[in-house]
A and B are shown apart, each in its own frame.
Chain A
Amino acid sequence: MIINKILASYTFRFLWAYVIGLSVSVLIVLMLVYATYSYDYFKQLQGAVADEIVALEEVYENTGFGGLERFIGEKIEKGELNRFYYLVVDQEKRKLAGNLDDWPIYRRYDDGWLEFHLEILSWNDQKRELRFIGRSEEIGDGYRMLVVHHHGEFRGYAEAIRGALVRSMMVTIVLGTIGGAIVAGLSVRQIDRTNKTLQSIMSGDLSDRIESASMRGEHKELALNINLMLDRIQQLMEGLRQVSDNIAHDLRTPLTRLRNQLSDMQDQAVSDREDRVQPLIDEADGLLSTFSSLLRIAQVESGSRRAGFTRLDLRIILLDVIELYEPLATDKAIRFVSSLQAEAFINGDRDLLFQAFANLIDNAVKYTPENGCVNVELGSAGEEAFVTVTDSGRGISAVDQGKVFERFYRVEVSRSLHPGNGLGLSLVSAVVKLHYGHITLSNNQPGLRVEVRWPLVD
């Protein structure tokens, strides 16, 4: 499915990792801002508390406890209770002055600062928990003074900011993921299309091109460049083919003359020399037949034979091929089994199809040892007709299977054991492609299984 494809795509994973990475960096930056800000805030707070204590100590020193009590009283009166809370106690921790009732239970830090929280009633009778920070000092005569400041508001802001941060981070990740999926989807679609075209080209249709009209940006540029590269490859291949065809074409005439002169010589020669001329004629015939095969492949590949396609029954052609090759198999004691379905019509060239089947069956018989088995099957599946030829020979290794359709390619072991020019399967492949078909080789364990598929016609 497209969703799975998107999720598995490199673009998506890359974008997703990017979104996560970006979120983490933003989080780190915001945490730093938070830390710096709160550090400054507490520093200021501590400074204010320290100043207040110094002021109160001065008041005590100058005016004694009475003055301090008055001073604190004035401060509270002035409505500065929002800022500072005071408590002066005696040795038994009994309240002497201030606006806190009891000596609180606090946490004392190493640097002497205290922290605690209290529940207080706010102006509308609601309980509020407030956090305080402050210091206590001995002010003489066994009295202790506590000056604190609450920082609950700051905590509140911090909580709110943190909540907002986490939520926006979530939204960022979700939106980033969706955005990434959309971008990846678009890119997956374009790359998918490009890959499909390239696969079709690799399977043989070199004339196909990537459709770049609907693409944009780098994808379009890439598609255009691939197309240009394909044009170039096609040109080169055509040039190469042209050269080899020309060679085959031009060398055939002198070879024919050579062959015929040898033949003349044989007619005139005395009998002992006649035997020496025959191998030369055979050699010339072999070369001529190789050239003819090359040119025939070139002709098939040019596609001009498609003009003469007619509707024909594969069964009839197969029966004729089987009938032609059956005695060859019988001579080698090979079991020749065929199972052909009633009819299978395709559009094609009768002679070329016969040639292709003949080459396949000829190979099967050739490479199957005595007492082996060759099996020919005709069937149809869906919109396609298929023909399989299987043998019980030594088969073709997976490495060679991709190469045997190349011209002149021969499997190493067969080079020495069996005669041939390495063009038989090239011709088969050309004929199959001419008929818009596909050919696949697989292992028959032991032996080779060749399967050819064509689109059926009514």
Chain B
Amino acid sequence: MRILLIEDDISVADYIGKGLRQSGYSVEHCADGEQGLALAQKSEEYDVLVVDRMLPNMDGLTIIQTLRAADNKSPVLILSALGEVDDRVKGLKAGGDDYLVKPFAFVELLARIEALLRRQKSSTSETKLKVADLEMDLLAHKVTRGGGGFNLQPREYKLLEYLMKHAGQVVTRTMLLENVWEYHFDPQTNVIDVHISRLRQKIDKDFDQQLLSTVRGAGYMLRDPEIQ
């Protein structure tokens, strides 16, 4: 898995690079906008691009627009500092796939990169999701586990769908808010935990195998405990 990191802040770049390499990615770093674009155009092999908005010589949004105009479909994660223009919509319209405000915890960045990679792999034509014995039929809107069905509220269904689509991956609270509730905001309390524990009550309570776990300091993960 190759990641191109275009970021001019050396300390941020070092920290992201180090973390990603430890997680098993190969990272190439570039501190200049124009050079970064050239690198991205030269090789279409990068699995994910991590691009800062404010860069010397060429800003991040221009890089993305140029790549998209040349039909380069590599997923892009945009980094932006809060206090600068926080314009998520503009970033996503320019062709970015996700948008993260600095500073962020590394787990947040990692979770998002993994989500982007997953999105790349999974085809949209999937009609069934499966994690261990938990199954979701996307067409019939039905969830079953071990033969028995569940009665899920619409939001619980959406939450479970997102978790299942990212099975085996850490999903952060902000990712859930952005993708399941579709609001970008900062919950001040453990409000997401309550929804997760409700969902857990429904899908895990009567089973020996616990699929939905909390990852301390990061978020949640739904996974088949037999697959490591």
Please choose the segment from B28-36, B82-90, B112-120, B138-146 that sits at the chain A interface, where 4 or more of its residues have CB less than 8 A away.
B82-90
Please choose the segment from B48-56, B71-79, B161-169, B182-190 that sits at the chain A interface, where 4 or more of its residues have CB less than 8 A away.
B182-190
Chain B interface mostly: loop
A253 to B186, CA, bound (A): 19
Establish whether residues B11 and A257, one from each chain, have CB atoms under 8 Å apart when the complex forms.
yes
Give a binary string over A264-283; 1 marks a CB under 8 Å from any B CB, 0 the rest.
00100000000000100100
Which of B83, B103, B106, B188 lies in contact with A362, CB distance below 8 A? B188
Which residues from chain B contact A324 at a C-beta distance below 8 Å?
181, 187, 191, 195
Establish whether residues A351 and B184, one from each chain, have CB atoms under 8 Å apart when the complex forms.
yes
What range describes how many residues of B lie at the interface? 20 to 34
Establish whether residues B83 and A249, one from each chain, have CB atoms under 8 Å apart when the complex forms.
yes
Which of B83, B183, B216 lies in contact with A354, CB distance below 8 A? B183
Which residues from chain B contact A293 at a C-beta distance below 8 Å?
186
Which residues from chain B contact A323 at a C-beta distance below 8 Å?
155
Please choose the segment from A45-53, A117-125, A325-333, A396-404 that sits at the chain B interface, where 4 or more of its residues have CB less than 8 A away.
A325-333
Residue of B nearest to A245 (CB): B83
Q: Given known contacts A256-B103, A260-B106, is B83 in contact with A366 (CB within 8 Å)?
A: no
A325 to B89, CA, bound (A): 26
| B105, CB-defined interface residue at 8 Å | yes
Which residues from chain A contact B11 at a C-beta distance below 8 Å?
253, 257
| B128, CB-defined interface residue at 8 Å | no
Establish whether residues B186 and A289, one from each chain, have CB atoms under 8 Å apart when the complex forms.
yes
Please choose the segment from A7-15, A82-90, A295-303, A440-448 that sits at the chain B interface, where 4 or more of its residues have CB less than 8 A away.
A295-303
Which residues from chain B contact A393 at a C-beta distance below 8 Å?
none
Establish whether residues A359 and B82, one from each chain, have CB atoms under 8 Å apart when the complex forms.
no
Establish whether residues B183 and A320, one from each chain, have CB atoms under 8 Å apart when the complex forms.
yes
Establish whether residues A424 and B82, one from each chain, have CB atoms under 8 Å apart when the complex forms.
no
Q: Given known contacts A278-B216, A308-B89, A355-B186, is B194 in contact with A331 (CB within 8 Å)?
A: yes
7 smallest CB-CB distances across A and B, nearest first, come from A256-B103, A355-B185, A354-B183, A327-B194, A351-B184, A328-B194, A295-B82
Given contacts A278-B216, A296-B82, A324-B191, 19 further A-B contacts (CB under 8 A): A245-B83, A252-B103, A255-B103, A256-B103, A256-B105, A260-B15, A260-B106, A293-B186, A298-B83, A299-B86, A304-B85, A308-B89, A328-B189, A331-B194, A351-B183, A351-B185, A358-B188, A359-B188, A362-B188
Hey, which bits of chain A sit against chain B, CB under 8 A? 245, 249, 252-253, 255-257, 259-260, 263, 266, 278, 281, 285, 288-289, 292-293, 295-296, 298-299, 304, 308, 320, 323-325, 327-328, 331, 350-352, 354-355, 358-359, 362, 366, 420, 424
Hey, which bits of chain B sit against chain A, CB under 8 A? 11, 15, 19, 82-83, 85-87, 89, 103-107, 155, 181, 183-189, 191, 194-195, 198, 216-217
